[in-house]
Amino acid sequence: MSEFTLPTWIESYRDLVTGKANKAQVSELARKLGLPVLGLLAFLFVWHVAAASIDTSLGKFPGPVDTWAQAQNLYAEHKVEREKADAFDERQRKRIEERLAVDPDYEVKWRDYTGSPTYLDQIYTSLYTVLAGFLLASVFAIPLGIIIGLSSSVYAAINPLIQVLKPVSPLAWLPLVTMVVSAVYTTDDPMFAKSFVNSMITVSLCSLWPTLLNTAVGVTSVSQDLNNVSRVLRLGWLAHIFKIVLPSALPMIFTGLRLSLGIAWMVLIAAEMLAQNPGLGKFVWDEFQNGSSQSLGRIMVAVITIGIIGFLLDRAMLGLQRWLVWDKQAVQR
């Protein structure tokens, strides 16, 4: 009984394993799996050869082997650090229990372990900083884009401003953001670290523009026929926006969001380097300042991590777009 059907791409693997694959299936697999693997191997080879011939003041440029060793190193350090933290918590718990047994009135004070952040902690910090910045940008950019797109006069008034602000580098914003944040964000018990706020705002300022522009263009290109439908139905302006304009513009909005997230991730690394937000950017900077024989290998690990995470973020956004947007043709690869 074959009521349960496999996805077609798995089927071709199954046919390959069972030796039933036809020519078309084999060549399809070769294209989809074989060629990328071949490309990767070629790259690793070129990297290996080129790295061996580059000498720096910190020793040889790290090749694939050194980089892999450093990746394992970083993971090992992470595990050691976690064990230390667990051991610290365990000791603390015991001490409190013993103390409570002797003195029931003892007011419990829990102290968190204060080790240095590991590589995985830094990835986590980078991820939530970029997402916070991206969300902040989207919260402003989408409504603003709708307002701009609805009126051709507003669009004409604001467009030059956007065109000038759009290409500004994060490095130019950062000092200004830092000064403004330290002047405005003053509490004794800050919920967020200033370095985090600085990085987040810089990311927002730089990643705002694609979403803003694409939303505005999406809104201006709502079909005239649909606008007429809305007029004949006498939809109120709010209903008009939510029932006609927003769904029409959604494919374009998502295109903008995807571009924005890409920019946000690129900007983040630079922002973290300068703002000293404890994420991947700071990791790279610290390793650079550290200058040990391992540093370049560790930076190389960070470079690869940044690339892979950027790729995964883009894929996640694409998945979200495929899921939410009605116009499947507008979703490119």
Partner 1 sequence: MKSILELTKVGIVFDTPKGGFEALKDVDLKISDGEFISLIGHSGCGKSTVLNIVAGLLQATTGGAILEGKEVNEPGPERAVVFQNHSLLPWLSAYENVELAVRQVFKGSKTRAEMREWVEHNLNLVHMAHAMDKRPEEISGGMKQRVGIARALAMEPKVLLMDEPFGALDALTRAHLQDSVMEIHAELKNTVIMITHDVDEAVLLSDRIVMMTNGPSATIGEVLDVDLPRPRDRLALADDAGFNRCRQRVLQFLYDKQRKVQPMPAKSGKGQAASGQAVEKADSEALRQA
Q: Which residues bind partner 1 (CB under 8 A)?
A: 223-226, 228-229, 231-235, 239, 243-244, 247, 250, 326-327
If the CB atoms of residues 251 and 281 are measured against partner 1, the closer one turns out to be: 251
If the CB atoms of residues 197 and 245 are measured against partner 1, the closer one turns out to be: 245
Least Cα distance to 128 among 117, 141, 112, 116 occurs for: 117
| Contact criterion met (CB below 8 Å) for 293 and 287 | no
- Shortest distance, CB of residue 150 to partner 1, whole angstroms? 14
Residues 6+ apart with CB under 8 A from 35: none
- Shortest distance, CB of residue 231 to partner 1, whole angstroms? 4
What does the alpha-carbon distance between residue 126 and residue 332 come to, in Å, rounded to a whole number?
Answer: 27
Residue keyed to tokens 């952040």: 117
What does the alpha-carbon distance between residue 71 and residue 300 come to, in Å, rounded to a whole number?
Answer: 9
Residues 6+ apart with CB under 8 A from 91: none
- For 125, 227, 230, the CA distances from 223, given in Å and listed in that order, are 43, 7, 11
- Shortest distance, CB of residue 260 to partner 1, whole angstroms? 23
- Shortest distance, CB of residue 327 to partner 1, whole angstroms? 7
The count of other CB atoms within 10 Å of the CB of residue 139 is: 11
Q: At what angle do helices 119-150 and 246-275 cross, to 10 degrees?
A: 140
- Shortest distance, CB of residue 230 to partner 1, whole angstroms? 9
If the CB atoms of residues 183 and 232 are measured against partner 1, the closer one turns out to be: 232
* Both structure tokens of 128: 């939530």
If the CB atoms of residues 250 and 253 are measured against partner 1, the closer one turns out to be: 250
- Shortest distance, CB of residue 318 to partner 1, whole angstroms? 19
If the CB atoms of residues 303 and 331 are measured against partner 1, the closer one turns out to be: 331
